[in-house]
A and B are shown apart, each in its own frame.
Chain A
Amino acid sequence: MFPILSWIIRYLFIALIYYFIYNIIRLIYLDISRINGKQKKKYNTPYLKLINRKETLDFEIEEFYDLKDATTIGRKKGNDIQIMDRFISSNHAKITMDEGEYFLEDIGSVNGTYLNTKKLQDVIKLKSGDRIGLGQVEFLFVKEVE
C-alpha cells in the first residue's frame, strides 16, 4: 500500500513543485513588466500628486494618480480614483479632458470640492500647480508643458 502511494505522490510532487516555481516566475515577471509599463506611461500624462503626508491619513491612498480622458473621484467602488475618506461622497468629483485641457467638476458632493481653497461652483479649467481639495485630502494638479 505505502510503496504505491509513495510512487504516485513522487510524480505529483515533482509536477506540483515545478508548477509552483513556474507560477512564482510568472508573478515576478508580471511585477517587473508592470513597473516598466508605468515608466513608459509617465511621459506627457498629467497626474495628481498628494500634498498631505501619507502617514497623517488613516485610509489607503496613493502618492500619485494618473489622469485619463475622464477620471472620477469618489468613495464608491467603480470610481477611477477610489478614496475611503469619510468626508468624500460616493461620487464626488470628475476631471475631464477636452482638446488637451483638463476641467474639474463637482458632481453633487456633500462637502464640496475646493480649488485653491475656493469652493467650486461650476466647471473650471485646471492649470498646472492648482490645488484640489476634497474631504481631508489635497492634491496638486501637475501637467507637463511640452
Chain B
Amino acid sequence: MRPISILVIINILLFGLLYVYTEPLDTSILIAGGVLTLLILVSYIIIVKARMGDQYIFLLISMLSSLGIVMIYRLDPNFGFRQITWYGLGVILYFLSYGIFRWIRNWDEYMYLYIGFGIVLFILTFTVGTTIKGATNWIRIGDFVFQPAEIIKISFIFFIASYFTYPDKLKNIYYFLGISYVHILFLVAQRDMGMAMLFYSIFISIFYVFYKDYKLVFYNFAAAILIVVYGYFTMTHVQVRFEAWINPWRDIAGRGYQITQSLFAIATGGFFGTGLGLGYPDYIPEVHTDFIFSAIAEEMGTFGAMAVVLLYFLLIYRSFKITLTIQDTFKKIIALGITLTYSYQTFMIIGGVIKLIPLTGITMPFISYGGSALVSAFIAFGILQAVSKKSYETEELMDFEPQ
C-alpha cells in the first residue's frame, strides 16, 4: 500500500472516532476532516505530478499535522476548527513560497533587507505588541494575533546564509556577530527564552559549520554559557523554570504543577494509551500548545508517541539529505538552517515535556495549536521543497557524468 493511502485510512478512522466522540453528534467535524484529507490528497498529487522535488516531506508534514488537528479537536473543538483553517492557509503558502523562491533568482543579494525586516518587526513588537502569558511577543491586528518571531526565524536564516555567501559585504566578522546577538537580545528582552535559545542554537551551529576559525566559535560558546549563568541569577522567570526542572515535586501545586501533570499523563498512557477521548489530558495547563506531546502520549500510548518521534526523525533525515546534495552555498545554508530550526525545536519541546531539559515555551512543529507557528513552518518547508527540486536535478546530472 502506498503511504498516502495509509494516511487517508488513518484520517478516516480518527475523524470518524471524533464524530462519535462529540456528544450531540456534529457532522461538521466529518466535513472538516474530509476537506482536510482531500486537501492533503490533492496537494500530494500536485507535488508528485509536477515533479516538485522530494515527495516525502509533504507526506510526513501532513501526517504530523493530521495527528495534531485530531488531538487539538479532541481537547477543544473550537481550536480544532481554527487549526484546520490554518492548515489550509499553510498549504497555500507552502506552494506560494515554493513558487516565489524559485521565481526570484538572486535571494543571496538582499542581506540588508533581511536584517532590516527582522529589526523592524522586533521594534514593532515592542511598541505595539501585546503581552500574553508573561511574554511581550505578539502583535495584534484586529481580532488576530501573531508572533513576529516565527517569521523572523526565516529572515534570520536568510541573513546568515547571505552573509556566509558574500562575507565581504560586512566589514568584518564582528559586525555579523553583533547583528546576530541583537536578534537574540531582542528575544531575551521579550522574555521569550525558548525562542532566544532556538535562535542561538541555529546561529552557533551554522557559524560552526561555515566559519574556519574555531577559536572564535569557542569564545562565542563560552560567552553563551556565561550569559546563561548571569541570566539565571538575575532573571526570576529563568530561575523558576530551572527549579521546576530540577525538582518539580517540591512545589507540586505551584511551580511544578504543569510538568508533574505532564509526567502523570505520560505515565497513565502505558504502551497503547487510554484511547482517544478516554484520558484526562485537560489537567495539564496549556495542553493544546506546548504540552500536546503529553496528551498524545497519554491517549495514543508510548507507541503512538514513539511513532511521532520517528516521523520527526524521517522528516529531519530527509531535510539533511537535501542539504547534503546541494552545491550552491546560499541554498545549502538555507536548507541547513531550516533543518536545524525544526530539529532543535522538536528536541527542545519534547525534551521539555518529558523533563529531560528545562522547559522552554516553544511550539511543537506542525502538531501544536498556533496559527503563526504552523504557517511559518509551512513557508519554511515550502522553501526546502523548492531547494530539493534543484538538488534532484543536479543529482541526476552527477549520476551520469562519465568519469
Chain A residues at the B interface, C-beta cutoff of 8 Å: 1-3, 5-7, 9-14, 16-21, 23-25, 27-28, 35, 38-39, 42-43, 47, 63-64, 142, 144
Contact = CB atoms under 8 A, between A and B. Distances in A.
A18 B301 CA distance: 13
Contact residues of A: prevailing secondary structure: helix
A17 B304 contact: yes
Contact residues of B: prevailing secondary structure: helix
B1 A23 contact: yes
B80 interface: no
Contacts of B9: 16
Contact of A64 (B10, B20, B317, B400): B400
B275 A6 contact: yes
Interface residues of B, number: 41
Contacts of A11: 272
Contacts of A2: 20-21, 277
Interface stretch (B126-134, B222-230, B253-261, B307-315): B307-315
A56 B310 CA distance: 42
Interface in B1-40: 1-3, 6-7, 9-10, 13-14, 17, 20-21
A125 B56 CA distance: 45
Given A24-B3, A24-B56, A142 B301 contact: no
B357 interface: no
A42 B20 contact: no
Contacts of B56: 24, 27-28
A117 to B, nearest CB: 25
A14 B303 contact: yes
A51 B402 CA distance: 16
A144 B402 contact: yes
B397 interface: yes
A6 B276 contact: yes
A20 B318 CA distance: 16
19 contacts: A2-B20, A5-B20, A6-B275, A9-B17, A9-B276, A10-B276, A10-B299, A14-B300, A16-B6, A16-B10, A19-B6, A23-B1, A23-B3, A38-B399, A42-B402, A43-B403, A63-B400, A64-B400, A142-B402
A6 B310 CA distance: 23
A23 B20 contact: no
Interface in B96-111: none
A9 to B, nearest CB: 5
B143 interface: no
A13 B14 contact: yes
Contacts of A25: 314
Contact of A9 (B59, B275, B399): B275
B42 interface: no
Contacts of A47: 400
A5 B19 CA distance: 12
B282 interface: no
Of the listed residues A12, A17, A21, the one surrounded by the most CB atoms of chain B closer than 10 A to its CB is A17
B60 interface: yes
A130 B3 CA distance: 45
A35 B399 contact: yes
Contacts of B13: 9, 12-13, 16
Contact of B3 (A27, A38, A42): A27
A144 B403 CA distance: 10
A6 B402 contact: no
A5 B17 contact: yes
Contacts of B317: 28
A23 to B, nearest CB: 5
Given A5-B20, A21-B307, A13 B399 contact: no
Contacts of B60: 24
Interface string B261-276: 0000000000011011
Given A14-B272, A21-B314, A38-B399, A6 B59 contact: no
A142 B2 CA distance: 38
A63 B307 contact: no
Of the listed residues B1, B310, B401, the one surrounded by the most CB atoms of chain A closer than 10 A to its CB is B310
A7 B301 contact: no
Given A11-B272, A16-B9, A24-B3, A38 B20 contact: no
Given A2-B20, A42-B402, A23 B6 contact: yes
